A = this chain, B = another copy of it.
Amino acid sequence: MAYLSRNPAPIPTPVRIGLIGSGWMGAFHAESIARRVPDAVLAAIADPNLESAEALAKSLGTAKVTASADDILADPEIDAVIIASPARFHAALISQAAAAGKHVFCEKPAGQGLDELDAALTAVEAAGVHFQIGFNRRYAADFQAAKKDLAAGIAGQPQLLRSLTRDPGNGSIPNAARVPAWTIFLETLIHDFDTLNWFNEGAEPVGVYAVADALVEPALRDQGFLDTAVVTVRYSNGAIAVAEANFSALYGYDVRGEVFGSKGMVQAGRSTETAARRYTAEGLAADTPRLNVELFRDAYTDELADFTAVVRARRDGTPPPSADFTLTPGAADARRALAVALACIESVKQGGPVAVPAATKAGV
């Protein structure tokens, strides 16, 4: 053997991440960390459902397992946590993680009410930890390209905006009866509200009018379950935005954004799975993205890679990543989008337009 050297450079310590919640989203984030984010390691998994946590750990072959998030928060070998528990626990977990000095990546929504969210964000601020929310569209290549164009002034002053989310489906909603009634606003359209806020950066959402109905599952209308919604959002700069969602698109997963302004328009949204096309006696055809992990696979990876890079920069004193435009969604973004979602619920209840409470509070 005549190798010149072995390991010429010290291997930098990867960012050690603890996962809280091993459901579908948590498991996907775990896999991203373990296999697609080279600078991070999945150090531990916490889930009250230990079987779920153990199965995930086994499939990835790497992590410590516990039933209690407390173990992760107390573990000095953990740099940061991914919170992917049910939404009702988010705000409290953020507070606890911040108090334990862990950097926080939290799935949306960061809270279910402004009060609990403000408490959590105050804890984050007090602890000085990094906070990022899972608004993954900011990391989709086409949404970033659109944002870059907007930041460069291509569309001019925004006047009309649109963001829509149509989840893939087959005409019914599995277990719909068990999904919380306001999910369409708090968990789905909150993505669109962030997209609109991000695309219309510098303006604040000031009022909304929301219409929602159970059109996919009319039988659930009486239980208050809503699967289709359209929201008009007014902004402080006069721009008028529309957000739209539906829980069952038979052609797959459809997520689009559009900004029209004084100088032009930018659009984001990918309607086909690849650039391949086929032409037959039936005409032109192409495959559409069927799953959110088909449409946003790279975005899911990149949001965690960005989180990892920022945490590493904080921990090791290295330079943080940078972009030509606002990218990482943080505390103010989480609060602003939630404020819009909550106003929508109020609008549906009242049957008319309602104001959005000051979306940013002092210090956030």
List the interface of chain A (C-beta within 8 A of B): 1-12, 34-36, 38, 44, 50, 53-54, 57-59, 61-68, 71, 74-75, 141-146, 149, 154-157, 159-160, 166, 170-171, 209, 211, 213, 215-216, 218, 228-230, 232, 234, 238-240, 242, 244, 246, 248-252, 254, 260, 262-288, 351-353
* Contact in complex: A44, B3 (CB < 8 Å): yes
- List chain B residues, Cβ under 8 A from A71: 1-3
| The 10 residue pairs across chains A and B that have the minimum distance between CB atoms | A145-B276, A251-B279, A264-B280, A270-B275, A142-B274, A35-B38, A142-B275, A3-B64, A142-B276, A265-B279
Contacts known (A54-B4, A353-B352); A287 close to B276, Cβ less than 8 A: no
Number of identical protomers: 4
Instruction: State the Cβ distance, A171 to closest chain B Cβ, in Å.
Output: 6
Contacts known (A166-B260, A242-B230); A288 close to B278, Cβ less than 8 A: no
Contacts known (A240-B228, A250-B264, A251-B264); A283 close to B284, Cβ less than 8 A: no
* Contact in complex: B288, A279 (CB < 8 Å): yes
* Contact in complex: A230, B2 (CB < 8 Å): no
Contact of A4 among B8, B50, B244, B250 (CB under 8 A): B50
Contact of A284 among B8, B215, B285 (CB under 8 A): B285
* Contact in complex: B271, A275 (CB < 8 Å): yes
- List chain B residues, Cβ under 8 A from A272: 283-284
CA distance in complex: A33, B159 (Å)? 38
* Contact in complex: A283, B288 (CB < 8 Å): yes
Q: Which residue of B lies closest to A214 (CB)?
A: B238
- List chain B residues, Cβ under 8 A from A4: 50, 53-54, 64-67
- List chain B residues, Cβ under 8 A from A240: 211, 213, 228-230
CA distance in complex: A35, B8 (Å)? 17
- List chain B residues, Cβ under 8 A from A3: 44, 64-66, 71, 75
* Contact in complex: B275, A266 (CB < 8 Å): no
* Contact in complex: B8, A54 (CB < 8 Å): yes
